[in-house]
């Protein structure tokens, strides 16, 4: 039986190791990951019996709100207790190998051996084949709006063990604790639990099957779905029919403000977009560049009272991680422009740190400027940003000096990664 497979010692040990590796905050009971093993040693006989008999009741999840990328509101996460995370992980490890192979080849999100980069490559391929209109479907508050009955009906088609089905439903209905009060919900699958991605794929697999039945070229990553067609008229027809399908069959709504029928180069998909003219090439979407700048600004703002080398050290992991994700881009321009923006920000920090005209004059002379030029530059009356881009700061603080301090060049990092792939 499936529940016995979930509760095998080897499966549970693997689940425990994964939860510990993932870390994360405690749930509503305050238990952290270091306390999980001692707790299981003491109470596992009882917990196992409750799971086998169908009497186990998960605790409510702890509500946490995090800012959405780009500052467009917040996203709600539901943090289960570490014990419930381990049990969910154990269920996931048994269900995923059985269910995942049945999913569509056009589905890429939260699946073993598949990545966002694979989805982006597939999308670029469709545009290169001449499908130069995209139906960009954004499902409104997907994780908050999933209907439990609709979802469980789809899960029941794939899972026969009624104890596992009951456990999954109880995880869905565990409720959310906020301000000491628990609120129950008839819909939604909280982001934050190990099972949520698989459950979302089970539900949206019905959308994938419908798109395949109609013969569409599409790519889906979690709740982001792009359908590629040859004309605007075809795109509008697809958008209207998908809206009806989602509302009628899955009780989900399309976010009309974020969804559109447009040219692929007018939209972004997983942070990327494509070039408009000539050969279709991947490039970083402008929104992704803006988001990176928003992430770097707090680090740069904190730099006014610190040595520049410390600021550079803090920038390095953020920059490397960003370039690592966008290494598939086939246009270098944004990496070069970002390098220039970061260097100017760092020079701006130094100009502000020097504060007084006589300090600036002294520092400019110390960095190689002649007395007359140093004096004229230090007293020019312009603001820090203008001076950071002026020739005297480029001479005093050349790019080579910033590299010596450890500044990671996005362009150099991109080229290095591009050569290695």
- Concatenated DSSP letters for 320-377? HHHHHHGGG-S--HHHHHHHHHHHHHHHHHHHHHH-SHHHHHHHHHHTT--HHHHHHH
Q: What is the largest CA-CA distance in the chain?
A: 87
- pLDDT string in tens for the chain (421-residue length): 899 999 999 999 999 999 999 988 888 889 999 999 999 999 999 999 999 999 999 998 887 776 666 555 566 677 899 999 999 999 999 999 999 999 999 999 999 999 999 999 999 999 999 999 999 999 988 877 888 999 999 999 999 999 999 999 999 888 776 555 555 565 666 677 899 999 999 999 999 999 999 999 999 999 999 999 999 999 999 999 999 999 999 999 999 999 999 999 999 999 999 998 878 999 999 999 999 999 999 999 887 778 899 999 999 999 999 999 999 999 999 999 999 999 999 999 999 999 999 999 999 999 999 999 999 999 998 999 999 999 999 999 999 999 999 999 999 999 999 877 6
- Return all residues near 398 (Cβ < 8 A) that are at least 6 apart: none
Q: What is the pTM of this model?
A: 0.88
H/E segment holding residue 262: strand 260-262
Q: Are 185 and 175 contacting, i.e. CB atoms less than 8 angstroms apart?
A: yes
3-state helix, strand, coil in the chain (%, to 5): 60, 15, 30
Q: Which two tokens stand for residue 279?
A: 């050969």
Q: Which two tokens stand for residue 6?
A: 């979930």
Q: What is the DSSP string of 112-134?
A: TT--HHHHHHHHHHHHHTT--EE
User: What does the pLDDT look like over 171-215, one tens digit per residue?
Assistant: 988 877 655 555 556 566 667 789 999 999 999 999 999 999 999
Phi, psi of 397 (to 5 degrees): -120, 75
């Amino acid at each position: 039986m499936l529940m016995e497979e979930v509760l095998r010692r080897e499966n549970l040990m693997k689940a425990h190791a994964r939860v510990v590796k993932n870390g994360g905050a405690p749930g509503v009971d305050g238990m952290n990951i270091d306390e999980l093993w001692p707790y299981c040693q003491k109470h596992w006989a009882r917990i196992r019996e409750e799971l086998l008999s169908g009497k186990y009741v998960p605790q409510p999840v702890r509500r946490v709100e995090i800012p959405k990328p780009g500052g467009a509101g917040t996203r709600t996460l539901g943090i289960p207790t570490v014990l419930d995370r381990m049990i969910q992980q154990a269920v996931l490890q048994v269900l995923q190998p059985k269910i995942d192979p049945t999913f569509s080849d056009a589905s890429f999100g939260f699946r073993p051996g598949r990545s966002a980069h694979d989805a982006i490559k597939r999308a670029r391929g469709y545009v290169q084949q001449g499908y130069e209109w995209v139906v960009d479907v954004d499902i409104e508050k997907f994780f908050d709006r999933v209907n439990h009955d609709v979802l469980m009906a789809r899960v029941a088609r794939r899972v026969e063990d009624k104890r596992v089905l009951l456990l999954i439903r109880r995880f869905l209905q565990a409720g959310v604790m906020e301000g000491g009060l628990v609120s129950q919900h008839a819909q939604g699958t909280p982001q934050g639990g190990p099972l949520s991605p698989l459950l979302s794929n089970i539900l949206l697999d019905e959308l994938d099957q419908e798109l395949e039945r109609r013969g569409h070229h599409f790519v889906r990553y979690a709740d982001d779905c792009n359908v590629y067609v040859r004309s605007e008229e075809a795109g509008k027809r697809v958008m209207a029919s998908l809206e009806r399908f989602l509302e009628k069959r899955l009780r989900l709504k399309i976010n009309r403000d974020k969804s559109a029928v447009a040219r692929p180069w007018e939209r972004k998909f997983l942070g990327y977009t494509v070039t408009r003219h000539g050969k279709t090439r991947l490039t970083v979407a402008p929104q992704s560049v803006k988001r990176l700048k928003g992430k770097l600004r707090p680090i740069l703002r904190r730099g006014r009272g610190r040595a520049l080398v410390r600021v550079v050290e803090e920038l390095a992991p953020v920059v490397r991680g960003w370039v690592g994700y966008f290494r598939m881009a086939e246009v270098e321009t944004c990496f070069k422009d970002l390098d220039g923006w970061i260097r100017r920000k760092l020079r701006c920090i130094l100009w502000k740190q020097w504060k007084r005209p006589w300090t600036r004059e002294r520092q400019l002379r110390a960095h190689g400027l002649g007395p007359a030029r140093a004096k004229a530059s230090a007293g020019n009356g312009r603001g820090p940003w203008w001076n950071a881009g002026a020739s005297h700061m480029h001479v005093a603080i050349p790019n080579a000096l910033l590299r010596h301090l450890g500044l990671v060049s996005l362009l150099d990092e991109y080229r290095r990664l591009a050569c290695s792939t």
